[in-house]
Amino acid sequence: MNWDDAPADTPDRLVGSAADREDQAVEAALRPKELDEFIGQERVRQQLDLVLKAARQRNATADHVLLSGAPGLGKTTLSMIIAAEMSAPIRITSGPAIQHAGDLAAILSSLTEGEVLFLDEIHRMSRPAEEMLYMAMEDFRVDVIVGKGPGATAIPLELPPFTLVGATTRAGLLPPPLRDRFGFTGHMEFYAPAELERVIHRSAGLLDVRIDADGAAEIAGRSRGTPRIANRLLRRVRDYAQVRADGVITREIAASALEVYEVDARGLDRLDRAVLHALLKLFGGGPVGLSTLAVAVGEERETVEEVAEPFLVREGLLARTPRGRVATPAAWSHLGLVPPPQAGGTSPGGSGQTGLFGT
Ligand SMILES: Nc1ncnc2c1ncn2[C@@H]1O[C@H](COP(=O)(O)OP(=O)(O)OP(=O)(O)O)[C@@H](O)[C@H]1O
Ligand SMILES: [Mg+2]
């Protein structure tokens, strides 16, 4: 899969949210297969349950469903569950794979009645394909254009009723006419630590890994609200438990293992910590410009901005202000540092001189 316009992630990053090769290989085995097995996302799950049950009772094809949310939160998993719950076959494709309207016409015209068409990264479809999709979603019909120029004719083609499940990490990029054609939109949230603990226990069971409650809690707290990351950290901790201990994952084992892998108690990795460290130690907590900060940690501007910052902002450790990047009081305490008086840029009318040359 290609994530070039999703938030960037360095490929070998243990806390990256995009799927790496190993994730892709093992995720199929860890995916819940039924709605009841799907952990968390209470609201989306309940709403979806109603949509699917009602369709089943009416013996009808379910309405089109849009799933939006950050990578690794369970969009692909849910789409497969939708097909399973409807006892329908599923066809899987993605926006980038559909470059021409003809590609889409070929897929649509080969669908069987009630089939689920899963369109991943739907915001990356080409314009002409998108327009064809509007009509297919609404009227179950496409116009196939035959010929070129003035002699071109549109041949209407009836489609069997099907359910489109679109997934996107960027709901905001979807054109409103497309968004409006979905009968149900589920927005996936980051998971609470207790939910991730359940994900970890479930995966540990499937992988035949022994883990106690504290061990699962320790991994959950470092998983950035994301099941994919939780499962990945679990696999790394399992390695450690197997090689350095008796195989059972306890809090101590999990903490020592993740220390080796440089994932700290809050899920920050080396890059995140380097950015915070530079911001606090070199620039007194800011404000400091992005370029300066990037030079200080020896990374590209984009890496700092797109790879490290989103999570730091989400965690309330860093703020982006018009005057530059500013550390919050939580950042100081997370790195075990004491903020200088008036540092942190938290008072809007502050001097703004607590940066590089601040006292
Ligand atoms: N609610 C959940 N309960 C249990 N496991 C989950 C849940 N959500 C996700 N997972 C696990 O996380 C992994 C990643 O989920 P999934 O591939 O569905 O994410 P995604 O949202 O499609 O990500 P991407 O945006 O990268 O395509 C799956 O293998 C699955 O095992
Ligand atoms: Mg997916």
The CATH number that applies at residue 294 is: 1.10.10.10
- When mean pLDDT is compared across 80-84, 319-323, 346-350, the lowest value belongs to 346-350
Residue 337, annotated ligand binder?
no
Select the more confidently predicted residue: 35 or 145: 35
- Lowest mean pLDDT segment, chosen from 74-83, 264-273, 348-357: 348-357
One domain, residues 140 and 45: yes
pLDDT: is 210 or 171 the higher one?
Answer: 210
56 and 124 both lie in a single domain: yes
- Indicate the Cα dihedral angle 23, 199, 63, 70, nearest 10°: -60
- 163 and 304: one domain? no
- Cα 120 to ligand 2 centroid, rounded to whole Å: 7
Burial class (CB in 10 A: 0-12, 13-18, 19+), 107: middle
pLDDT over threshold 70, residue 10: no
Query: In sequence order, what are the beta bridge partners of 168?
Result: 68
Q: Is 43 annotated among the ligand-binding residues?
A: no
> Would you say residue 350 lies in a domain?
no
Give yes or no for a contact between 256 and 240, defined as CB atoms under 8 angstroms apart. Answer: yes
Of the pLDDT bands very low, low, confident and very high (cuts 50, 70, 90), residue 206 is: very high
21 belongs to a structural domain: no
Same domain, 103 and 177: yes
CA nearest ligand 1 atom 25, residue: 71
135 Cα to the center of ligand 2, angstroms: 25
Average pLDDT over residues 155-182: 93
Pair 169, 45 in one domain: yes
- Answer whether residue 59 shows pLDDT above 50: yes
Residue 242 CA to ligand 2 center (angstroms) comes to: 30
pLDDT at 350: 41
User: Does ligand 1 have an atom closer than 6 angstroms to the CB of 189?
Assistant: no
Q: Is 18 in the pocket of ligand 1 (CB under 6 A)?
A: yes
Q: Which residues contact 303 (CB under 8 A, 6 or more apart)?
A: 8, 10, 271, 294
Ligand 1 atom closest to residue 26's alpha carbon, by position in its atom list: 29
Q: pTM here?
A: 0.88
Cα torsion for 17, 11, 292, 328, to the nearest 10°? 20
Q: Is the CB of 169 under 6 A from ligand 1?
A: yes
pLDDT at 320 over 70: yes
In percent, how much of the chain has pLDDT > 90?
79
Ligand 1 in reach of 227 Cβ (< 6 A): yes
Q: Please, are residues 94 and 124 in contact by the beta-carbon 8 Å criterion?
A: yes
> Does residue 251 sit in the same domain as residue 317?
no
pLDDT digits (tens, 9 = 90+) for 263-300: 999 999 999 999 999 999 999 998 999 999 999 999 99
Compute the distance from residue 139 Cα to the ligand 1 centre, in Å.
Answer: 32
Give the ligand with the smallest distance to the CA of 227: 1
Question: Residue 80: CB within 6 Å of ligand 1?
Answer: no
Tell me which residues are annotated as active site: 75-76, 120, 169, 228
What are 153's two structure tokens?
């004719």
Range of the structural domain that residue 227 is part of: 193-260
- Point out the domain boundary residue: 135, 156, 187: 187
> Residue type at 95?
G
> At 351, is the pLDDT very low, low, confident or very high (cuts 50, 70, 90)?
very low
Domain match, 328 and 291 both: yes
Which ligand lies nearest to the CA atom of residue 233 in the structure?
Answer: 1
> For the chain, how many structural domains are there in total?
3
**Is there a domain that residue 93 lies in?**
yes
Give the pLDDT band of residue 342 (cuts 50, 70, 90): low
Whether residue 147 is found in the same domain as residue 209: no
3-state secondary structure of 127: helix
For residue 140, say whether it is annotated as part of any ligand binding site.
Answer: yes
pLDDT at 171: 87
117 lines ligand 1 (CB under 6 A): no
Answer with the one of 207, 227, 260 that is the final residue of a domain. 260
112 and 231 part of one domain: no
> 8 in a domain, yes or no?
no
Does 325 belong to an annotated binding site? Answer: yes
31 is in an annotated binding site: yes
pLDDT above 80 for 357: no
Task: List the structure tokens of 53.
Answer: 């049950």
The mean pLDDT value of the chain amounts to 90
261 is in an annotated binding site: no
Whether ligand 1 lies within 6 angstroms of the CB of 30 is answered as yes
* Residue 358 or 326, more confident: 326
Q: Residue 293: left (phi > 0), alpha (psi -120 to 50), or beta?
A: alpha
Question: How many angstroms does the Cα of residue 112 sit away from the middle of ligand 1?
Answer: 27
| Span 17-58, pLDDT tens digits | 888 888 888 888 899 999 999 999 999 999 999 999 999 999
* 139 in the same domain as 42: yes
Q: Is 38 in the pocket of ligand 1 (CB under 6 A)?
A: yes
Q: Same structural domain for residues 197 and 255?
A: yes
Are 91 and 168 contained in the same domain?
A: yes
- Which atom of ligand 1 is found nearest the CA of 3? 26
**Ligand 2: centre distance to CA 76 (Å):** 4
Closest C-alpha residue for ligand 1 atom 7: 74
